[in-house]
């Protein structure tokens, strides 16, 4: 079982004098039972973390699935609505074109009729000329 052991020697209370120290370090490896118990503790802790994450992920998955279903329904509704709007727009465009032509025709008819009322008809001009010339 790898580990880090840090030894620190402090001589801060005496700057001018050197010290001679002796020490003995004995490292005893852990027993097999201790290793097994440690592994089981770590495995249980990991299992708890995995279970908590799984529960969280399942809740989020349920919410995401519901949101996706709602959005799918909404997209389908909007797609149908868009198709209906496109059909309505095509009808409105066709009617607009027809009405523009009708207004242009009526403008031309107004102009011709105003001209006739102001200047008269061709046969009236000839009749006026004949009437005027036969009178003299």
Q: Are 27 and 5 in contact (CB under 8 A)?
A: yes
129, part of any domain? no
Both tokens assigned to 116? 């006739």
77, part of any domain? yes
End-to-end CA distance of the chain: 141
Range 124-130, long-range pairs (CB < 8 A, 24+ positions):
none
Residue 98, pLDDT score: 98
Task: Supply the pTM of this predicted model.
Answer: 0.49
Each residue's pLDDT expressed in tens, for the chain with a length of 136 residues: 567 778 777 776 766 777 777 778 887 788 889 889 999 999 999 999 999 999 999 999 999 999 999 999 999 999 999 999 999 999 999 999 999 999 999 999 999 999 999 988 887 777 666 666 655 5
127, part of any domain? no
89, part of any domain? yes
56, part of any domain? yes
Domain count, the chain: 1
**Structural domain of 103:** 39-121
96, part of any domain? yes
What is the C-alpha separation between 114 and 105, in angstroms, rounded?
14
């Amino acid at each position: 079982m790898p580990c880090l052991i840090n030894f620190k020697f402090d001589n801060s209370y005496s700057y001018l004098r050197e010290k001679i120290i002796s020490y003995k370090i004995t490292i005893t490896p852990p027993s097999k039972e201790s290793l097994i118990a440690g592994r089981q503790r770590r495995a249980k802790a990991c299992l708890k973390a995995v279970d908590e994450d799984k529960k969280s992920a399942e809740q989020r998955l349920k919410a995401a699935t519901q949101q996706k279903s709602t959005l799918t329904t909404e997209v389908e509704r909007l797609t149908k609505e868009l198709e209906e709007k496109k059909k309505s727009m095509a009808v409105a465009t066709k009617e607009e074109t027809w009405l523009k032509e009708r207004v242009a025709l009526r403008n031309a008819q107004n102009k011709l009729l105003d001209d006739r009322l102001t200047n008269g008809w061709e046969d009236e001009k000839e009749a006026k000329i004949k009437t005027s010339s036969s009178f003299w």
